[in-house]
Chains A and B, each alone.
Chain A
Amino acid sequence: MKLNIDIKELLGAVDVPAQWVGIREVYEAHTPRMIRDGVPVANARSSTHGIMVEVLVNGQFGYYGTPDMTKEGVSRAAKKAYQQAEIASGHALHHFDESARPSFQGEYRSPYTKNRESLSAGNLNELLLDAYNSLKVSDKIVSASSLCQVIETSFKFASSNGSDINQEFLMLEFDLSATAADGTNQQTRTFGGMRGTCRQMGLEYFDKYEIMANAGRIGEQALELLEAEECPTGEMDIVIAPDQMMLQIHESIGHALEVDRILGDERNYAGWSFVKLEDFGTLQYGSKLMNITFDPTLESEFASYAFDDGGLKATKEYLIKDGLLVRGLGGKESQIRSGLDGVANFRSSGWNRAPIDRMANINLEPGDSTFDELIGQVENGVYMESNKSWSIDDYRNKFQFGCEYGKLIENGKLTKTVKNPNYRAISTPFWNSLKGVGNEDTFGIYGTPNCGKGEPNQSIRVGHASPACLFENVQVFGGV
């Protein structure tokens, strides 16, 4: 049950002598459903609803997040936020003015045709149960699951300088998973995990025949991996599928370009960055084939929106053009602090957290190679699909990724399946080894529902789209 709140009316209840006041209302409901091993393990719906009152006092912002959305509650919240800001203003890292919260008005709505209620709980459980049955292709499949989650988010923002924004999101996450085991030899194959299918879309996504076909393939590939050889060890070329490229982009580009990290805000938690302020416009981040965009406009991508949580209008911008670093992921506050151009990425995980610099949709633009042309360039290498392990250092340099499914590439052809394909490298040498970028036909749209960052911690949704890519001379290895 969602309360209808008029935040512009609530704004009138604020009675503190602040330089600026804003109210951000967020309602979000999650509806997960899951079948595991033939039985229902999740049929849930939970919602969160509250407001954040933010005030600017002596150049310092202070906030109060509260679920009490009455006029009295907002008045009380504003007074307490004011007190916090006033105390802090004598020790402010930066003194802001109203320009940190520009005034915009507008609306956004996710693209979809079928809402959450278009399929009943019973219909969805039936679909997921059928998918489970298709995953269970053998007794060696010791566990299998099918799940979906609908996310409905409503975001409203109003401020004392005239911002008036209303954004409505409908998102869907879906996955299939099969684990095959023979003693301690165990292999899991998924439909990309929770990062595989997470988009702004409605229940029109559910095409039963396509889901069953994918479920059958995933079950068979889990068995295939159980019998497969270990991935070879050595330095070789790799072709990475888009459902792994998305996390490669996320970890070794997205986080590294967050300007609040570069300014040191995250040093105690997520970390710093190897990128320095003076690198913008000068650092050759990758090969000439590399073009990275901040694109909140790509239809159906997970983190598309029209305005960020500070009210700034969102536009597509190049972050890396022909391999050269040109722009950072800095919202209005970071733009003011750093003097750099940025993007509209000042985002929060909900009403109870203050916005910070986040990724939104960070994409690798398609090139002109077909998939066969990418594979055809490789004499001895590995093709890798679907992330299962990820780790990178606090400067975003030394990374290591593991994938679910690999294929040897021998003399320009895909040959044997290999299990536990892993690779490790350092960010800029790796991106400078980018030798081929797939075309639109190899392009996939993915994302992640739980990118973690910030103090207090915030888990946020981001989108990543990429074609398949070829990298040369990478350290590759398998399991134990």
Chain B
Amino acid sequence: MEQIFNKLSESLFGQLNEGEHLILSFDGENSQFVRFNNASIRQTGLVDDADVGLKFIANGRTCSGGFTVSGNFDTDIARGSSEIDRMRIESEQIPKDPFLVMPENAGSSHEIKKANGLAFEDAVDAILPAVSGADFVGILANGKMFRGSANSLGQKHWFETESFCLDYSLVTPEHQMVKGCYAGSDWNQQDYEDYVKRSRDKLVLMERKPVKVDTGEYRTWFEAAAVADFLGMFSWNGISEASLRQGCSGFGRMRHDDVRLSSKFSIVEDFSPGFCPKFNSNGEISPDTISLIENGSLKNTLVSSRSAKEYGVESNFAEGGEYLRSPRMEPGSLNHNDVTKNIDKGLFLSNIHYLNWSDNAGGRITGLTRYACFWVENGEIVAPIETMRFDDSFYRFFGDQLVQVEDKLTVVPEVHTYGQRSLGATTCPGILVDSFALTL
């Protein structure tokens, strides 16, 4: 893939006229997808895919393009040339862009992560025996992923990684479910079987008769996977500088009214674990870490180079959409063994589902409980709960209602496969909240 991208880049850069600039981005994968239902195979297949994105800058204008890379150089160069011709014409027609971001050559990078992964032909036999007899449903996404960037000033980045992600649920006959996600680069059969066994052990708790919880406010523990979902909302009308400037961010109260979250709440954008490339689709490299909220106080927003120009602030080389790519929330002091004791009476929520802003300006988020969610009394898990809707503000559950933060961090991988397999992960602890509102 890298050779294909390099050859294509060189040829397309050679077609530019004086005063024209081109930034190329590359996304590709060689993936296996195996879909399971009831510990059997529902669908199975392979996908080879690669796309090149083009940003053409000339005459004070920017045009973009993109096409699928077939792997046949003649076809691909014809597609790329056609795009350049089109963008050259359009750049004479469209209005000037006063906030144009010009390419730079700030140095190149090259990162290839080798792995001892799961061979495509071995995957089914490796996975299914451990889940035999269980109602196992989910997906294996497996294989290589590629990201690249190059510009006409000579800057070049390449990132290549191989990984697997078995994202699954185990289901009881009464339809109660436990979620699992076994992901990594090096496949270890024993480690996988141990992981599945722990999931199967959790199912025992789910066999108790579910209790119906009334609407109202409860002391609530959120496991790391649930916290990761809340943090994910910061990528959508949240931590983006452009969103704040355009009046559609839930962070407005922090920016304009100096409202602070709990001193126990800190998050950073942290690229050091290498879950995703440090370069963005413009080829810009972010700092290794960017402090966003420090002890409850908004320190930085995510700022793309375009927002930097438009609003006169400094870029931290966020992606154009100014979303979190590798967030990490700082740990606290609560040991997981002490969680139910510290809840005493309330809710233990392993996962949450289908979040949306119900009042963006007020920081209010609605969603639902899902999977292993329990009622706790006298510091002990009593039984799973029936699905409940919540509607509460992050200014409360990351703010004045945040009681304790777990002392251990969990890596929650990005598992989405819309269009292509995703890279990135959220690293965070669980949290204990004194009061959390269930509404339906």
Residue contact B65 to A93, C-beta cutoff 8 Å? no
Q: Assuming the A-B contacts A39-B98, A40-B97, A268-B138, are A391 and B354 also in contact, with contact meaning beta carbons closer than 8 angstroms in the complex?
A: yes
**Nearest neighbor of A425 in chain B, beta-carbon distance:** B440
Q: When chains A and B are docked, how far (Å) is the Cα of A350 from the Cα of B177?
A: 31
Contact with B along A385-398 (1 / 0, CB 8 A): 00001111111011
Instruction: Flag if B137 contacts A267 (CB, 8 Å).
Output: yes
Q: Does B46 contact A398, Cβ atoms closer than 8 Å?
A: no
Q: Which of B37, B94, B354 has a CB less than 8 Å from the CB of A263? A: B37
| A373 at the B interface (CB under 8 A) | no
The docked-state distance in angstroms from the alpha carbon of A42 to that of B66 is 13
Contact across chains for A479 and B362 when beta carbons are under 8 A apart? yes
Bound state CA distance, A70 and B72, in angstroms?
A: 9
- A11 CB–B CB distance under 8 Å: no
CB contacts (< 8 Å) of B387 on chain A: these are 393-395, 397-398
Query: Are B171 and A267 touching (Cβ within 8 A)?
Result: yes
Q: Please name all residues of chain A whose beta carbon is closer than 8 Å to the beta carbon of B245 when the two chains form the complex.
A: 142-143
**Is B65 within 8 A of A129, CB to CB?**
no
- Chain A residues, Cβ within 8 Å of B31: 456
- Verify if B110 is at the interface (C-beta below 8 Å from A): no
- Nearest residue (CB) in A for B67 is A47
A417 at the interface (CB under 8 A from B): no
Cβ–Cβ contact B41 & A60, under 8 A: yes
Instruction: List the one stretch of A82-90, A152-160, A305-313, A431-439 in contact with chain B.
Output: A82-90
Query: What's the nearest-Cβ distance from chain B to residue A441, in Å?
Result: 32
Q: Which of A65, A268, A424 contacts B167 (CB 8 A)?
A: A268
**Please, what's the 1-or-0 string for A21-60, where 1 marks a CB less than 8 Å from any CB in chain B?**
0000000000000011101101111111110000000001
Number of interface residues of B (CB under 8 A): 97
User: Within 8 Å of chain B (Cβ to Cβ): is A113?
Assistant: no
- The answer to whether A68 and B41 have CB atoms under 8 Å apart is no
Determine whether B247 belongs to the interface, using a CB cutoff of 8 Å to chain A: yes
A392 x B354 contact (CB < 8 A): yes
B126 to chain A, nearest CB (A): 11
Q: In this assembly, does B391 line the interface, its C-beta being within 8 Å of a C-beta of chain A?
A: yes
Task: Convert B124-139 into 0s and 1s, putting 1 for each residue whose CB lies closer than 8 angstroms to a CB of A.
Answer: 1000100000000111
| B419 and A88 form a contact (CB under 8 A) | no
Q: For residue A54, which residue of chain B has the nearest CB?
A: B45
In this assembly, does A80 line the interface, its C-beta being within 8 Å of a C-beta of chain B? yes
B94 touches A91 (CB 8 A): no
Give A393 to B44 CA distance when docked, in angstroms.
28
**A125-B93 CB under 8 A given contacts A184-B253, A397-B387:** yes
B61 at the interface (CB under 8 A from A): yes
In the assembled complex, the Cα of A39 lies from the Cα of B253 at a distance in Å of: 28
Are the CB atoms of B95 and A393 closer together than 8 Å?
Answer: no
Q: Which of A186, A420, A458 contacts B418 (CB 8 A)?
A: A458
Q: Closest residue of chain B to A120, judged by CB?
A: B93
The minimal Cβ–Cβ distance linking B44 to chain A, given in whole angstroms, is 4
Question: Do A181 and B393 have beta carbons less than 8 Å apart?
Answer: no
Report the minimum CB–CB distance from A457 to chain B (whole Å): 4
A42 to B252 Cα, complex, angstroms: 26
Interface string of A418-431 (1 = CB under 8 A from B): 00101011100000
B356 on the interface (CB 8 Å rule)?
A: yes
From A65, A84, A397, name the one whose CB has the most chain B CB atoms within 10 angstroms: A84
CA distance A459 to B420 in the complex (A): 11
A69 close to B (CB within 8 Å):
yes
Q: Is B337 an interface residue (CB 8 A)?
A: no
Q: Is the CB of B359 within 8 A of A480?
A: yes
A422-B252 contact, Cβ under 8 Å, with A43-B90, A398-B368: no
Contacts of B137 in A (CB 8 A): 264-265, 267-268
- A179-B40 contact in complex given A264-B137, A393-B353, A480-B359, C-beta closer than 8 Å: no
A465: Cβ under 8 A from any B Cβ: no
Please pick, from B70, B72, B89, B247, the residue contacting A142 in the complex, using a CB distance under 8 A. Answer: B247
- Whether A125 and B95, one on each chain, are in contact in the complex, defined by CB atoms closer than 8 angstroms, is yes
Closest to A426 in B: B440
A393 touches B389 (CB 8 A): yes
What's the minimum C-beta distance from B440 to chain A, rounded to whole angstroms? 5
* Minimum distance in angstroms from B412 CB to a CB of chain A: 16
Chain A 340-366, CB-CB to B under 8 Å as 1, else 0, gives 000000000100111010000000000
In the complex, what residues of B have CB within 8 A of residue A93's CB? 37-38, 40-42
Contact A188 B120 (CB under 8 A): no
How far in angstroms is the closest Cβ of chain A from B96? Answer: 8
Return chain B residues, CB-CB under 8 Å to A475.
Answer: 440
Q: Are A84 and B368 in contact (CB under 8 A)?
A: no
Query: Which 10 residue pairs of A and B lie closest in terms of their CB atoms, listed nearest first?
Result: A46-B66, A480-B362, A122-B93, A63-B45, A143-B246, A181-B247, A44-B64, A456-B417, A455-B139, A1-B82
User: Which residues from chain B sit less than 8 Å from chain A, CB to CB?
Assistant: 31-35, 37-38, 40-51, 53, 61-72, 75, 78-79, 82-83, 86, 89-90, 93-95, 97-99, 120-121, 124, 128, 137-139, 141, 167-169, 171, 175, 177, 179, 245-248, 252-253, 256-257, 353-364, 366-368, 370, 387-389, 391, 393, 416-419, 421, 439-440
Q: Pick 29 A–B contacts, CB within 8 A, sort by A.
A: A1-B83, A36-B246, A43-B94, A45-B65, A48-B67, A66-B48, A68-B71, A81-B46, A83-B121, A87-B44, A88-B34, A92-B40, A93-B41, A121-B90, A121-B94, A129-B95, A142-B245, A180-B247, A181-B247, A267-B137, A268-B138, A389-B357, A398-B388, A422-B358, A424-B439, A456-B141, A457-B417, A457-B418, A458-B418
Q: Besides the contacts A1-B82, A142-B247, A394-B370, what 12 more A-B pairs have beta carbons closer than 8 Å?
A: A43-B90, A46-B53, A49-B67, A61-B43, A62-B45, A84-B46, A121-B94, A143-B245, A186-B247, A264-B137, A455-B33, A456-B141
